[in-house]
Amino acid sequence: MTKTRSSRPIPTLDDVARKAGVSTATVSRCINTPDRVVEATRAKVTKAIESLGYTPNFGARVMAAKRTFTIGAIVPTMENSIFARGLQAFQEQLHSHGYTLLVSSSAYDPKIEEEQVRALVARGADGLMLIGYDRDAAIYKYLERQSVPALIAWAYAPQTPRPAIGFDNRAAMAMIADAVLAQGHRHIAVISAHVKGNDRAAERVEGIRASLHTRDLQPEHIIETSYDVDAGAQAMTELMHKTPRPTAVICGNDVLAAGALRAARDMGLEVPKDVSLTGFDDMDLAQVVTPALTTMHVPHREMGRIGADMLIAMVEGAAPPAPVQLPTTLQRRASLGPAPTRTPV
Amino acid sequence: MTKTRSSRPIPTLDDVARKAGVSTATVSRCINTPDRVVEATRAKVTKAIESLGYTPNFGARVMAAKRTFTIGAIVPTMENSIFARGLQAFQEQLHSHGYTLLVSSSAYDPKIEEEQVRALVARGADGLMLIGYDRDAAIYKYLERQSVPALIAWAYAPQTPRPAIGFDNRAAMAMIADAVLAQGHRHIAVISAHVKGNDRAAERVEGIRASLHTRDLQPEHIIETSYDVDAGAQAMTELMHKTPRPTAVICGNDVLAAGALRAARDMGLEVPKDVSLTGFDDMDLAQVVTPALTTMHVPHREMGRIGADMLIAMVEGAAPPAPVQLPTTLQRRASLGPAPTRTPV
DNA sequence: CTGAAAGCGCTTACAG
DNA sequence: CTGAAAGCGCTTACAG
């Protein structure tokens, strides 16, 4: 049950020191600040370390040094690749600076997210990357109290002074809605992720509303659902039975749009001839489906890379940086076409 | 730079003990084994904990107790969803047993994987989940020495006595090749992940060879590439310029197949009329592309769930379990059709 | 049921 | 350049 059941016990700093005939302080220095130790001593210690197969105990190290070179990230889901690409870049950049990234998932559950925050902090994370702003104030208070800096990613709210890197979800989605309107669509529906506790999703819906509002329109239907293909398909099926039938469906992301596309096909509807569809994120998926999705390109890798630099600076004592806004660009592809001339039945 | 720069210092067990007027031992018991403490005492301590906002320091706890209730998982990539679904189920099951999952990615680099293993062990992981068998023996030796149990997932090799849960990649892929042959294809090409250090990919290719061998055939071309859509597309383009042109392309997974599908479409080829295509994994992707992919269904969620149970048992001292084999099932969809009757040019 | 005290494996002023 | 020693924040036999 315990780690010491091993037949051959795990070597400690003390074992190394004894074997090399030096103090534990010297061994510690050999490992952490080798140039403060004279060559000959270092050689003895290195030899002892190797022959013993010694590796430092991290827990002890953390406790004594108060630094772990570990960064934690909590994402709402690992199930689809929304966050995967940005996270990969985040990890690479962190790794090149000597930090290790540990990731965990909250399954879109605020309770679990809070647990994960505590778990990561408790395990010595030097800093945290969190998705979006929306969470219990107690979590922010806890982090502050523990002096663990946190970076918000995938969102950008200039009015909130918290360090963040992301993009303007509202404006980006408004741009999509504008494009839909420009194609003559007037019966517009939305498939969104659940907006509660998900500020990105909420802002995207707001962006749509704002855009449509300029023409005195509003979304005729908004379905909130979970972020998976089947959910997107089911929502689409539902929408296509409404009267009048929407001529364009704006989806909260590419996964939902891909599901919607499948549902349309299964119902014998042609995209975009019968109904137009848009996504968000510009995942690989978007170019692989037929027709390819009109969607919003988000610079995920850049977000990960810059986010890593920001968080490292924070962890290393820099003043909290100002929020960084990244540009998004509309990708026009075949899934968005002109509105049918006749009113659909 | 240090965590103690905080203006209000972080409360410790000692602070709680002092405030509650008891010993640190009693506070510790209140937290870990509450029924060994009498009600009245417990109430005092609980109050002190709350008023101080105390949370235990994990590092210290680990060091003293030698248990972290943390499980580490290292996957080759977080970039696509191959592992995402299984991991999510793994995490859920772990969570329901009070364990926290921390995930990191090796980016398919054995060096990085080794670093991550050490990082996770050093951070006190009670157990590890690793993908596939193929890795330096030194890693296994290290884990054994540290008495950290490891479970291999996504692979199953009954001759290797290591605890594992997975499926027979070789047999599963042979089944796909059999299906391709049954459709009359004789000019068959393969797009695989790099097989070096990736036993799953290597076994899949072997499965294809074995199947074709029964008809005295062999793959006419095998392209090894990375696991992403663009790589799949590029490989497909290359293959479609060969003479004779393959009539069927077996892909190492759905991502590659989706890319291949896109490339075929871009070249004006119809699937499956001009060329058949198969995937592996049965990801959401497989049903979303047109035509839908014939692929091998892998019970990812089940693998994650059972794997969690196995690893928990190991961590809690059970004898190493025997490898578990999960069934895979062929999903026949539109991307695989009969071979064209005329020899392609 | 509770406490005093040793110990977990490191790091780091402080001396020399 | 190196060592003795205190300290990091907990847990857990051992007594009582």
Chain B residue closest in CA terms to A284? B229
Pairwise CA distance, residues B105 & B126, whole Å? 18
The residue that minimises its CA distance to C1' of D5 is A25
Name residue B292's beta-bridge partners. none
Q: For chain A, what percent of residues have pLDDT higher than 70?
A: 96
The answer to whether A334 and A292 are in contact (CB under 8 A) is yes
State pLDDT tens for residues A110-163. 988 988 888 888 777 889 999 999 999 989 988 887 788 999 999 998 888 899
The answer to whether A253 and A279 are in contact (CB under 8 A) is yes
Query: In Å, how far are A119, A128, B172 from B107, measured between CA atoms?
Result: 25, 21, 25
Which has the minimum average pLDDT: A243-257, A327-341, B76-90?
A: B76-90
Name residue A150's beta-bridge partners. A128
**Å between CA of B49 and C1' of C5:** 23
Angle at A110 between CA A108 and CA A115, to 5 degrees: 110
Question: DSSP letter at A271?
Answer: T
* φ, ψ of residue A155 in degrees (nearest 5): -155, 155
Q: What is the dihedral of CA A249, B264, B284, B78, to 10 degrees?
A: -110
A122 CB inside 7 Å of strand D: no
Query: In Å, how far are A249, A294, A335, A337, B283 from A332, measured between CA atoms?
Result: 15, 5, 8, 10, 26
Angle at A15 between CA A125 and CA B142, to 5 degrees: 60
* Structure token pair of residue A24: 């534990």
**Å between CA of A26 and C1' of C14:** 15
pLDDT at residue B252, rounded to an integer: 97
Pairwise CA distance, residues A63 & B122, whole Å? 13
- Per-residue three-class SS string for A56-74: CCHHHHHHHHCCCCEEEEE
**Å between CA of B301 and C1' of C2:** 47
Q: How far is B145 from chain A (nearest CA, A)?
A: 7
Angle at B196 between CA B192 and CA B198, to 5 degrees: 70
pLDDT at residue A7, rounded to an integer: 41
* B343 pLDDT above the threshold of 50: yes
**Å between CA of B54 and C1' of D16:** 30
User: Mean pLDDT over residues A242-268, rounded?
Assistant: 96
Strand, coil or helix: what is A157?
Answer: coil
Average pLDDT of every residue of chain B: 90
Among B80, B126, B81, smallest CA distance to B101 is for: B126
Pairwise CA distance, residues B157 & B137, whole Å? 16
Sheet with B221-225, strands from edge to edge, namely B221-225, B188-193, B248-251, B276-278
Q: Which residues of A touch B103 (CB under 8 A)?
A: 78, 102-104
**CATH of segment(s) B169-298:** 3.40.50.2300
User: Mean pLDDT over residues A208-223, rounded?
Assistant: 97
The residue that minimises its CA distance to C1' of C2 is B26
State pLDDT tens for residues B256-276. 999 999 999 999 999 999 999
Q: Which residues of A touch B262 (CB under 8 A)?
A: 287-288
User: Mean pLDDT over residues B295-324, rounded?
Assistant: 93
Pairwise CA distance, residues B11 & A308, whole Å? 30
Q: Which residues of B touch A145 (CB under 8 A)?
A: 6, 8, 10, 53
User: Mean pLDDT over residues B224-243, rounded?
Assistant: 96
Q: Which residues of B touch A104 (CB under 8 A)?
A: 91, 100-103
B28 CB inside 7 Å of strand D: yes
* A212 pLDDT above the threshold of 70: yes
- A2-56 homologous superfamily: lambda repressor-like DNA-binding domains (1.10.260.40)
Side-chain half-sphere exposure of A56, counting CA atoms within 13 A: 17
* Bases on strand D under 7 Å from any protein CB: 1-5, 7-13
- CB A28: neighbour CB atoms within 10 A? 19
* Structure token pair of residue A36: 């403060």
pLDDT band, residue A6 (cuts 50/70/90): very low
Pairwise CA distance, residues A194 & A200, whole Å? 10
Side-chain half-sphere exposure of B203, counting CA atoms within 13 A: 19
CB contact under 8 A, A8 and B58: no
Name residue B291's beta-bridge partners. none
Query: B56: cis peptide before it, omega within 30°?
Result: no
The answer to whether B12 and B57 are in contact (CB under 8 A) is yes
Among B235, B283, B275, B281, smallest CA distance to B259 is for: B235
Every domain of chain B and the residues it spans: 2-56, 68-167+299-327, 169-298
Label residue A99 left, alpha or beta by phi (over 0 means left) and psi (-120 to 50 means alpha): beta
Q: How far is A23 from chain B (nearest CA, A)?
A: 22
Q: Tell the burial category of A7 from Cβ atoms under 10 Å away from its Cβ (0-12, 13-18, 19+).
A: exposed
State pLDDT tens for residues A33-61. 888 889 999 999 999 988 888 878 777 87
Single pTM value for the model: 0.83
* B5 pLDDT above the threshold of 50: no
Burial A121-152 (b: 16+ CB within 10 A, else e): bbbbbbbbbbbbbbbeeebeebbebbbbbbbb
* φ, ψ of residue A83 in degrees (nearest 5): -100, -10
Question: DSSP letter at B124?
Answer: T
Burial B209-220 (b: 16+ CB within 10 A, else e): bebbeeeebebb
pLDDT at residue B4, rounded to an integer: 35
- B68-167+299-327 homologous superfamily: Response regulator (3.40.50.2300)
Domain A68-167+299-327 and domain A169-298, same fold? Reply is yes
CB contact under 8 A, A4 and B147: yes
Question: DSSP letter at B280?
Answer: S
The residue that minimises its CA distance to C1' of C5 is B25
Query: A161: cis peptide before it, omega within 30°?
Result: no
Helices (H), chain B: 13-20, 24-32, 39-52, 58-65, 84-96, 110-122, 137-145, 169-182, 199-213, 229-239, 254-266, 284-288, 300-315
- CB A317: neighbour CB atoms within 10 A? 10
Please give the full DSSP string across A203-268, using - where no structure is assigned.
HHHHHHHHHHHTTT---SEEEEE-SSHHHHHHHHHHHTTSSSPPSEEEESSHHHHHHHHHHHHHTT
State pLDDT tens for residues A54-100. 878 777 877 777 777 889 999 998 877 778 889 989 998 998 887 88
Query: A291: cis peptide before it, omega within 30°?
Result: yes
* A300 pLDDT above the threshold of 90: yes
**Å between CA of B173 and C1' of C8:** 50
pLDDT at residue A297, rounded to an integer: 97
pLDDT band, residue A1 (cuts 50/70/90): very low
CB contact under 8 A, B88 and A79: yes
User: Mean pLDDT over residues A196-201, rounded?
Assistant: 92
* Structure token pair of residue A235: 């929502």
Length of chain B: 345
Q: Which residues of B touch A116 (CB under 8 A)?
A: 100
Average pLDDT of every residue of chain A: 90
A19 CB inside 7 Å of strand C: no
The answer to whether B147 and A131 are in contact (CB under 8 A) is no
Pairwise CA distance, residues B274 & B272, whole Å? 6
State pLDDT tens for residues B13-66. 999 999 999 999 999 999 888 888 899 999 999 999 888 888 787 778 777 777
B46 CB inside 7 Å of strand C: no
CB contact under 8 A, A102 and B102: yes
Among A29, A24, A25, smallest CA distance to A12 is for: A24
Q: For chain A, what percent of residues have pLDDT higher than 90?
A: 64
State pLDDT tens for residues B238-258. 999 999 999 999 999 999 999
* Structure token pair of residue B96: 């329901």
Report how many Cβ contacts below 8 Å link chain A to chain B. 192
- Run of H or E including B329: strand B329-331
CB contact under 8 A, B66 and A4: yes
The most confident of the ranges A39-48, B111-120, B294-303 is B294-303
